[in-house]
């Protein structure tokens, strides 16, 4: 996909879909949610395989979103149109003679090797550029990353002079939540502050529009919020807030997420049918109250919300949350048996509920060296252990922090399984050894 024309080789980001099996000719529209999920996917793949090319694509997508699809400290825009000047793809395709005039002879040869264009073209007599960074990554020729960056910069500057496609500048809460999660996924691998800072900016911006009764905006236009949020808005924004909590160790983000979760239960959970609905109970003008059960084109909002209910409920032994989780899984079992390909997220939750050992780490920190601590937590741990944190100054009634205090006036770690915690320690190395002990018990 990233080699093909469905990827914008010059500006970054994926177009909406391809009309052929080779990912060559796209429908040139770009969607925020597509790029958020793909950035996260490539980043996760890089984390597993340490592939430079996957890392580049993930970062390139996010750089595109940050520089081209957002407004300073505000949120991310919905989409870019496929057409400009009344013609689909005009902004993105190139005539051979046009490319010949842009470069000198040496640059032209490098550009041709990188992006596979020719006199016949590959799309209505014009060229959709393909190849790109993958060519650099796998090439044994003389050109490298510096030449690639130079050629790409020349093409980007030339293309910027063209009339651009229209941008839909709505800021949809759920899609911005997805994008924050993608940014934080990259932050946990690179610890590049730009991803964290952008995440904080966007979350703070959307949070500024949350009402006193914890109603999220559905979308924002020109800093004017429009309400009637859906379950999707809550589910994906709550996930983003939890990622921010883990990236900053700031209890504020967890606290907001919990308040929003309680609002979901009040407004979207129906105890009689035992389902989470897409629309709030306050919405009265619908013939049928819709439900989002299936993973298509992304994880079901009900499943995503259930995931957080399980996460928080299992770690804090919140029986209210866990009863909702169990009821939802039971109701979804027939759907999982009937259409497994569209209910994989529910199957994952079912497996987690049945076999999870409830391991978690509670951190009471002294507000010092927090970035260094986050870095160690995400680069030295031997498992994907869930951790919750707060400053020793923060007051909360959340059970998970009950009787958890600093020891020796230093950041203190409590490693727990099934609500029973080991002796506290001030050493992250001790925690890593304890995690290995827990893992051996699981084996």
Structural domains in the chain plus CATH codes: 17-37+47-59+72-168 (no CATH), 171-355 (1.50.10.20), 359-442 (no CATH)
The three-point CA angle 29-32-36 to 5° equals 125
Q: What percent of the chain has pLDDT over 90?
A: 83
Tell me what pLDDT residue 202 has: 98
Tell me what pLDDT residue 355 has: 87
What's the rounded Cα separation, in Å, for the pair 193 and 1? 28
DSSP three-state, residue 94: strand
Q: Residue 382 — pLDDT band, cuts 50, 70, 90?
A: very low
| Residue 200: Cβ within 10 Å count | 18
Mean pLDDT of 148-172: 97
Q: What percent of the chain has pLDDT over 70?
A: 97
Give the Å distances, CA to CA, from 4 to 24, 162, 253: 5, 22, 39
Tell me what pLDDT residue 364 has: 97
Helix, strand, coil percent content, the chain, rounded in steps of 5: 50, 15, 35
Q: What are phi and psi of 191, to 5 degrees?
A: 55, 30
What's the rounded Cα separation, in Å, for the pair 201 and 164? 26
Tell me what pLDDT residue 69 has: 98
DSSP three-state, residue 39: helix
What's the rounded Cα separation, in Å, for the pair 84 and 377? 46
Q: Residue 439 — pLDDT band, cuts 50, 70, 90?
A: low
Q: Residue 442 — pLDDT band, cuts 50, 70, 90?
A: low
Tell me what pLDDT residue 206 has: 98
Q: pLDDT tens digits, residue range 322-374?
A: 999 999 999 999 999 999 999 999 999 999 999 887 889 999 999 999 999 99
What's the rounded Cα separation, in Å, for the pair 286 and 307? 27
Tell me what pLDDT residue 317 has: 83
172 and 69 Cβ atoms separated by less than 8 Å: no
Which of the residue ranges 16-25, 91-100, 129-138, 219-228 would you say has the lowest mean pLDDT? 129-138
Tell me what pLDDT residue 441 has: 57
């Amino acid at each position: 996909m990233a080699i093909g024309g469905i990827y914008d080789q010059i500006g970054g980001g994926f177009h909406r879909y391809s009309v052929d099996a080779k990912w060559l000719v796209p429908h040139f529209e770009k969607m925020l949610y597509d790029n958020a999920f793909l950035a996260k996917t490539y980043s996760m793949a890089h984390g597993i395989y340490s592939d430079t090319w996957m890392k580049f694509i993930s970062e390139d997508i996010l750089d595109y979103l940050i520089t081209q699809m957002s407004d300073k400290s505000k949120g991310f825009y919905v989409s870019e149109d496929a057409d400009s000047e009344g013609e689909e793809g005009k902004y993105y395709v190139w005539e051979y003679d046009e490319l010949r005039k842009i470069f000198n002879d040496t640059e032209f040869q490098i550009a041709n090797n990188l992006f596979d264009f020719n006199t016949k073209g590959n799309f209505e007599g014009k060229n959709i550029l393909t190849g790109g960074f993958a060519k650099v990554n796998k090439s044994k020729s003389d050109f490298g990353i510096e030449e690639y960056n130079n050629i790409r910069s020349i093409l980007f500057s030339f293309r910027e002079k063209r009339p651009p496609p229209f941008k839909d500048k709505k800021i949809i809460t759920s899609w911005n939540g997805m994008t924050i999660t993608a940014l934080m996924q990259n932050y946990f691998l690179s610890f590049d502050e730009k991803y964290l800072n952008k995440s904080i900016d966007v979350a703070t911006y959307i949070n500024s529009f949350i009402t006193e009764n914890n109603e999220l905006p559905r979308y924002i236009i020109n800093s004017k919020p429009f309400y009637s949020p859906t379950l999707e808005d809550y589910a994906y924004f709550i996930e983003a807030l939890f990622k921010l909590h883990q990236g900053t160790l700031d209890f504020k983000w967890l606290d907001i997420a919990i308040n929003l979760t309680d609002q979901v239960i009040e407004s979207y959970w129906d105890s009689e049918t035992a389902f989470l609905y897409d629309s709030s109970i306050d919405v009265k003008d619908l013939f049928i109250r819709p439900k989002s059960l299936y993973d298509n084109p992304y994880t079901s909002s009900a499943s995503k919300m259930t995931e957080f209910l399980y996460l928080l409920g299992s770690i804090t032994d919140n029986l209210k949350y866990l009863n909702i989780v169990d009821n939802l899984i039971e109701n979804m079992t027939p759907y999982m048996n009937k259409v497994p390909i569209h209910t994989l997220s529910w199957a994952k939750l079912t497996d987690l509920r049945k076999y999870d050992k409830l391991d978690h780490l509670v951190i009471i920190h002294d507000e010092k060296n927090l970035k260094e601590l986050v870095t160690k937590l995400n680069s030295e741990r031997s498992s994907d252990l869930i951790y919750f944190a707060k400053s020793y100054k923060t007051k909360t009634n959340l059970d998970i922090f009950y009787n958890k205090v600093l020891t020796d006036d230093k950041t203190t770690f409590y490693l727990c399984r099934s609500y029973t915690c080991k002796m506290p320690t001030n050493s992250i190395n001790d925690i890593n050894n304890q995690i290995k002990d827990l893992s051996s018990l699981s084996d």
